[in-house]
Structure 1
C-alpha cells in the first residue's frame, strides 16, 4: 500500500525559497545604502572638522604666541628689572611710594608691548597695596578689576588653588577672564584679559558660533548660546546633538577655543540624498511586491499545479487535470503533455483494474476446483456402502449434504456471499465428515444473528476448517473445532474478526514462517494453495485493511484469526464487491 503523499511544509515550498532569495538580495542593498549614507555623513563631518581644526590651530598658535610674549615680559620685569628689586628693598613707606611710581611709569611706557592684554596689576602683601595699570588700547572699555583680582590673590584670597605662572581662565559673573600671575617675595605682578576679546577676533561665518571651553568640557561663554533655552547646562555634551563641535587646546593655558557648527546647515545637501534613498527604498519595495506578484503568476502557480499533479499521481488519482489557459508558453506545452500522460495513465488504470478482477475470478475458480479426489471418492464409496447395508436414511442425508456442498462450490453468480451462507456451507462440509468419522469431530459455531448478513468473500472460512480436519483428525480421539465471529473497533474502523481454533497438533514452524513471508505452502502431499490463495484474495479485495494471522495456541492446537473490514448488509451497496 502506498504511503500518502503530503504537501510540502510551507518553509520548504518554492514560493518561500524565492521570497527568501529576494529578501537576501534586497535587504543587503538597503543595509548598504543606509550604511553608505551614514558613512558619507561621518566622512563629511570629519572633513569639516579637519578643515576648521586647521584654521583654529593657526589662530590658537597666534594667540599662544602673543600670550607667551606677555609671560616673558612679566618674568623679565619681576626678575631682571631693578625697579622691582628697589621696590622690594624700600626701607620706608615714602621710599616704597617713590619706587612704585617709577615702576608704574615704566609699565605705562611699555603699554605698546602689552596691547594683547587689558590691564597689568601689582600687589604688595607687606603694604597691602594694589596698583593697576590700564593699557591705553582703543578697544579697551574696561575699568579697574581690583576686587576681582583681590578675591584670587593676597589677603582676601578665596581661591588658594589659583595657579601661579600659567594662564588661567576664570568665569566671574557674566564675564570670563584670563589671568596670568607671577610672584616674588610676597610681591605679585600679573595681567588679565577679558576672553571675549580673543573670541571676537576669531573669524566665524553666519552659522558658526565661537566658544571657549575649559579642560573639564564646560562652556565658559554660555552667552554665545543666547536663545537656546533647551540647553539645560553649559556642558559641551549638551550641544553635540545639534552642533558639530571643533575644539583646539591652548599650549599656555587651561582653556580651548572652538567653533560650534550647526549640523543641519553642514548637512543641508544630505536631506536630498536621504529623500532619494527613501524613494529608492520605497521603489525597490514596490518592485519587490510587483515582482513577487508576477513571479507567483508566471512561475509559482504553474509549479504549484505541477506539485498537485505529482500528489494526485502518488495517490493514484488520475482524474486531475491542469488548466491550460490561453498563454502558449513553456508551461502550456508541458501541462498539455502532462494531461495527455494522465489520460494514458487513467486508461492503464482501468485496464489494470479489469485484469485484476479477471485474475481474482480465475484464482477463485482455482480454489473451487481444489477438490481432493480422495474426499470425493471416499464420500461416494461411503454412499455405496450405506446403500448395501440398507441404511437408506443416512444415504439420503449424505447425498443431500454432498449436493449442497457442490452446489455452493460451483456457483458462478456471486463474488461476495453472506456470512450465513458461508457458515451453512461449513455445516454441510462438517456433516459429511461427521458421517464419515462418527464420534471424532465436534464443531462449535458462535456468531451473533446480526452478523449473518455481513458480506465476505466465498470459501473464506471452509479451507481452514478443512485444514484442521485433515491434519488433526485421529481415530478414537475427539477433535474440537471452535469457530467464533465478532466485531471489533480497530484504529477507528469497525472490523469483522473470525477465529478458527482447534485442539489438534497445531502448525509446524515451517508453515508459519512461509505464511509470514507470503510464500506458497508445500508439504509431503504436494502444493497447498488454499491458505495462500485466501491471503492473496483478501489482499486483492481489501488491500492492507485485511489480515490473516496463523498461530499455535498456548494450550494445544492451531489458531487462525481473520480480520477484514465490516461490509454492508444484504441489499446495500458493497464497496468491496468487485465488478460483475
Structure 2
C-alpha cells in the first residue's frame, strides 16, 4: 500500500502565509515606492521650473548684451572710426565715451564682470571692471584682450578661464577694432529664495567641469539621459536637474540637497510609514506564532523522539496558554507514567529471564576438552608419570571450578589471565605442538575487572583452530586503558598465528548477523556477546578480524576497578606450581 504523503504543520503554515502575505507585501512595497517616486518627481518638477527661470534670466541678459553691442557698432561712428589710426586726443576721447556707455551697461547687467574696447590700429585697450576684482585679475583680463587675435576667434559666446575665474566672452566689432564683453559666471543669477534644504545653481562647460561652486561639485558627473537623478556628494544626497543654457556650450544645473521624507507631504509620510509598519508586523506575527506554538511543538517532538531512541520516559513541561498544547502535554505525561509502570513489570520479567540464560550459558561446556583430558591423563598414568598426573588433575579441577562460577560475576584481569595460563598448561600436555603464550599487560590494567571466561573463550578457539603441525602455536594477549569521550574503557586483544577465521564465519561477525545461525565454531563468542549485552548493554563490543599474523579478536569494555559481588561459591584451593 502506497504511503500517504505527509506535510509539516510549520511548512504548511509558511506556505499559507506566503500565499496570503506575499501579494499584500508586493502591493505595499509598490505603493510605498510609487509614493516616494511621486514625491521625487514633484520635487524635481519644482527644481526644474526654478532652473528654467534662472536660465531664462541669464539667456535674456546675454541676448540683450549682444544686441546692445551690435547696435552700438552698427549705429555709433565712435566705434567704427577706431578701426583707423586717429590722433591721440581723438582716440582717447572716443574710447572714454564708449567706456562711459559700458559703465551704464554694467550697472544694468550685474553679471558683466568687465568690458573692453580694443583698437589695434591706435594701440589702445581700455577696460572697465567690477569693483571686487583685484589688480592682478584686471591686468590679466586686459592682457588677454591685447594678446588675442579676435579676427580668428569665435563669433559666438564662448567660455574662458582667466586666473581663477570663469567668464563667458563675446566679441563684436570690425577689423582692427573690437568690443569684448566678459560675463562673470560668479556674478550670474543666484538662488535668492530661502529653501528648506541648501540649493546651488552650478554651471558646467562642454567637458562637464564645474565653473562655480568647484569646492563641492568639482567631481560631479552629469547624466544627460535622465531628466533628474540623485547623487551622493560629500556624503550627502543631492537631486540634480539640468538644461543647456543655449550660449557658449554651457549647461546649467540646479542641485538641491535631497531628503526623501523631507520633500514629502505629511499624508505621504504617514502612508509610507504605515505601509512599512504593516510589513514589519508580518515577521513579528510569525515570530509570535513560532514562540507560542511551533517551539513548544518542536520540544514535544524532540522529547518523543528521545523517548523512542534512548528508551527514556521524559515528561513534557508546558507553561504556555494554549489549551490544546496543555491537554496534549498532560495526556502525554499520563501515558509516560503508565508506560513506566509497564516497563518496571517487564524489567522484572527480563531479570528472571536473564538469570535463566546465565544458568543455561554456564552449562554449555566443552565435552571434547574433557575427553581429550581423560585420554591424556590415561597416557600419563600408563607412563607412570605420577607427579605430572597429579598436576594435571589439580589444574583441571581449578578450571572446572572457574568455569562453574556465575557468568555475571566480574573478576580481576589478573585472575582471568591466571586461568588462561592454567588452561594453556593443561592443553600443552595433550598436543605435540609447542605453545608460546605472550602476555603484555600493564600493572594498572591487571586490577581491572572483566567478566569470567571473557578471554578464556578466545584462547580455546586458538587451540581448536590455530594449531598446525609445522609450526609452534603463538598466542598473544595484550591490554590497554583508553579514553573515549567521557568514559574510560579497557581494550583487550587476543592474537594467534593460525590461519584466521573462515570467510563465512568472519562475514557473519562483521555483518552483524544473528550468531545463533552460526555453527558450533562460534558458540563461545556468541555466548560472550550475549553476556556483555546483559552486563554492559551497548557500552561493550567484540571485533573479530584476520591480519597478516592470523586471527585477532578485540574486546572493549568499560573500565571497572571496584570489587564486583559474586553469587557463586569461591574455591579456596590453589593451582599447584607448574615450574
Q: Output the TM-score relative to the length of structure 2.
A: 0.57
Cα pair distance change 1:166/1:336, threshold 3 Å? same
| Aligned with residue 365 of structure 2, among 371, 376, 379 | 371
| Aligned with residue 249 of structure 1, among 210, 232, 245 | 245
- SS in structure 2 at match of 1:568: coil
CA distance in 2, matches of 1:71, 1:418: 125
Q: Judge conservation of contact 1:242–1:262 (CA < 8 Å) in 2.
A: yes
Q: Judge conservation of contact 1:453–1:569 (CA < 8 Å) in 2.
A: yes
1:488 deviates by: 4.3
Cα pair distance change 1:550/1:262, threshold 3 Å? closer
1:127 deviates by: 1.9
Q: How does 1:32-181 map to 2 (within 5 A)?
A: 39-40=37-38, 42-52=40-50, 77=75, 123-128=82-87, 129-130=90-91, 131=94, 132=97, 149-151=116-118, 154=121, 155-157=123-125, 158=143, 159=145, 160-162=148-150, 181=172
1:58 deviates by: 6.6
Residue in structure 2 matched with residue 564 of structure 1 by the alignment: 556
The higher radius of gyration belongs to 1
Residue in structure 1 matched with residue 226 of structure 2 by the alignment: none
CA distance in 1, matches of 2:384, 2:181: 162
Residue in structure 1 matched with residue 454 of structure 2 by the alignment: 460
| Aligned with residue 549 of structure 1, among 529, 544, 553 | 544
1:325 deviates by: 1.5
Cα pair distance change 1:325/1:25, threshold 3 Å? farther
1:323 deviates by: 1.2
Q: How does 1:98-497 map to 2 (within 5 A)?
A: 123-128=82-87, 129-130=90-91, 131=94, 132=97, 149-151=116-118, 154=121, 155-157=123-125, 158=143, 159=145, 160-162=148-150, 181-183=172-174, 206-207=193-194, 249=245, 254=248, 270=264, 294=288, 297-299=291-293, 301-302=295-296, 305-306=299-300, 308-309=302-303, 312-313=306-307, 316=310, 318-336=312-330, 339=333, 361=355, 363-373=357-367, 375-376=369-370, 404-412=398-406, 414-423=408-417, 426=420, 437=430, 444=437, 446=439, 453-471=447-465, 482=475, 484-489=477-482, 493-497=488-492
Residue in structure 1 matched with residue 137 of structure 2 by the alignment: none
- SS in structure 1 at match of 2:553: strand
1:414 deviates by: 4.2
Structure 2 portions without partners, runs of 5+? 1-9, 109-113, 126-142, 221-232, 567-579
CA distance in 1, matches of 2:494, 2:352: 29
- Of residues 406-415 and 57-66 in structure 1, the stretch that sits farther from structure 2 once superposed is 57-66
1:316 deviates by: 0.9
Q: Judge conservation of contact 1:30–1:281 (CA < 8 Å) in 2.
A: yes
| Aligned with residue 533 of structure 1, among 523, 527, 531 | 527
Q: Judge conservation of contact 2:202–2:254 (CA < 8 Å) in 1.
A: no
The one-character-per-residue Cα deviations of 1:53-103 (angstroms, maximum 9, x if unpaired) are 65567767876776676677567658xxxxxxxxxxxxxxxxxxxxxxxx6
Q: Judge conservation of contact 1:521–1:527 (CA < 8 Å) in 2.
A: no
Q: Judge conservation of contact 1:464–1:531 (CA < 8 Å) in 2.
A: yes
CA distance in 1, matches of 2:534, 2:259: 88
Q: Judge conservation of contact 1:49–1:246 (CA < 8 Å) in 2.
A: no
CA distance in 2, matches of 1:427, 1:496: 19
Cα pair distance change 1:127/1:544, threshold 3 Å? same
CA distance in 2, matches of 1:507, 1:549: 8
Cα pair distance change 1:534/1:152, threshold 3 Å? farther
Residue in structure 2 matched with residue 8 of structure 1 by the alignment: none
RMSD of aligned C-alpha atoms?
Answer: 6.7
Cα pair distance change 1:328/1:293, threshold 3 Å? closer
CA distance in 2, matches of 1:304, 1:380: 68
Cα pair distance change 1:515/1:66, threshold 3 Å? closer
Q: Output the TM-score relative to the length of structure 1.
A: 0.57
The one-character-per-residue Cα deviations of 1:521-564 (angstroms, maximum 9, x if unpaired) are 999x966522333244335544364324354774xxx5543432
Cα pair distance change 1:152/1:332, threshold 3 Å? farther
Cα pair distance change 1:67/1:499, threshold 3 Å? closer
CA distance in 1, matches of 2:83, 2:499: 139
Q: Judge conservation of contact 2:410–2:450 (CA < 8 Å) in 1.
A: yes
Residue in structure 1 matched with residue 134 of structure 2 by the alignment: none
The one-character-per-residue Cα deviations of 1:315-340 (angstroms, maximum 9, x if unpaired) are 61624333122513444345445545
Structure 1 portions without partners, runs of 5+? 1-12, 79-102, 105-119, 223-229, 575-580
Q: Judge conservation of contact 2:118–2:178 (CA < 8 Å) in 1.
A: no
The one-character-per-residue Cα deviations of 1:176-196 (angstroms, maximum 9, x if unpaired) are 999763326x5x587989999
CA distance in 2, matches of 1:255, 1:518: 91
